[in-house]
Amino acid sequence: MSDGFDAERAFLRELFDVAVAAASPTRAIPQHIPEPPAGRCVVVGAGKASAAMARAFEQHYPGRCEGLVITRYGHAVACDEIEIIEAAHPVPDTAGVAATARIMDIARGLGPDDLLVALISGGGSSLLTLPAPGLGLADKQAVNAALLASGLPIDRMNLLRKHLSAIKGGRLAATAWPAPVLVLMISDVPGDDPGTIASGPTVGDETTLEQARAVLDALPGALPPAVSRALANPANETPFPDDPRLVTTENRIIAAPMMSLHAAAEQARAQGITPIILGDALEGEARKLGRQMARDALARCGRAPCVLLSGGETTVTLPQGASGTGGRNVEFLMGLAQELDGARGICALACDTDGIDGGAEVAGAIVTPDTIARARAAGYPLEHALERHDGHGFFARLNDQIITGPTLTNVNDFRAILVTQ
């Protein structure tokens, strides 16, 4: 595109590509290959990166392994020894339920001489779908849909998910006992809490059924009565961190958002642009954060060229009747563009590192100083898109979407705001 900002676009896209590469399973997995056990090495896992993790694991493991990994439709990577199954994300389906049940059966069949390797990445919470006793798939689907539209932070969402699941909140590791469990995680959550990544299937859970009921009460609309009944059942309490069945489990984070931000910062520095890392755990309403970061960028105008880098996971609270198609990154960018109001010398990119922003196969988009003017000329003013929460429709009309396809990793959102004047 020749709108006068080709160099800025290329620079921002290069930073994003470097950030994604830094979290690649092919780079992270080889450093964490375990010694073969006396018995079997069995690999299980779930997440948008899990198939790529499985492929990297079996390529570097010095022996025979077997197992089953679940990934999102379109994210499969062919493996020689580990079975890959695709299932629905973010709202679970029957393929995910069946595969998760098989993973639990595998875990039950292990002994003390075996080793269970769990490969966990973002998206695993929806893919590891095995309803707690008394619940069906339709109940879980209703809860997931309500959570996705709620605007709740990810830790609140996963708190509820853990107590409605037969595998999350440490239940997978407890089921595998007495076999040792090695968990290799790619973090997509603010703060890199292992108990939050994929709702912590191998991590003891400090939260309670009472807290889960409070999250349920905060959700708008009616949910199936079976959900409330499940949260009243003491049998659905998760294993606590001091559960003796978890003592042989090691949870290890092998890639995280800050690693990607540092890689992007080094790339920027090599090109003479000063990187400023604002943090890897920024949360809150996407549109509001966009406006706040626009003000931060404006405050730096007139100084040396710099790029503001950040990660995290924002939220979008959708009002009833919202008719657009979007995601938190494009929502962030619309808020940022509105606050910048065409300010010179500021361009920005916001993308999800898994290549999927919201439910669309779009990673994110780019904003330039003429974004608002071009949108108005195209007959779709920014204020109309904001009203409809239609970030993908807005940036598609401008040809400013970033489309990568599945990146086969996931360290959450990547944002870069370039200030050159």
pLDDT averages per 10-residue partition of the chain, 421 residues: 82 98 97 98 98 98 98 96 96 95 98 98 94 94 89 88 96 98 95 93 97 94 94 96 98 98 98 97 95 98 95 90 90 98 97 93 97 97 96 97 96 97 87
Q: Are 171 and 129 in contact (CB under 8 A)?
A: no
Q: What percent of the chain has pLDDT over 70?
A: 99
Model pLDDT, residue 205: 97
Model pLDDT, residue 359: 80
Confirm whether 6-20+258-419 and 25-255 share one CATH topology. no
Indicate the fold that domain 6-20+258-419 takes in CATH.
glycerate kinase, domain 1 (3.40.1480)
Model pLDDT, residue 190: 84
Indicate the fold that domain 25-255 takes in CATH.
Rossmann fold (3.40.50)
Model pLDDT, residue 90: 87
Whole-angstrom Cα distance, residue 399 to residue 69? 36
Model pLDDT, residue 421: 87
Angle in degrees, CA 225, 226, 232, rounded to 5: 100
Q: Name the strands in the sheet holding 364-367, side by side, starting at the edge strand that comes first in the sequence.
A: 274-282, 306-312, 413-419, 346-352, 364-367, 401-402
Sketch the domain layout of the chain as residue ranges: 6-20+258-419, 25-255
pTM: 0.90
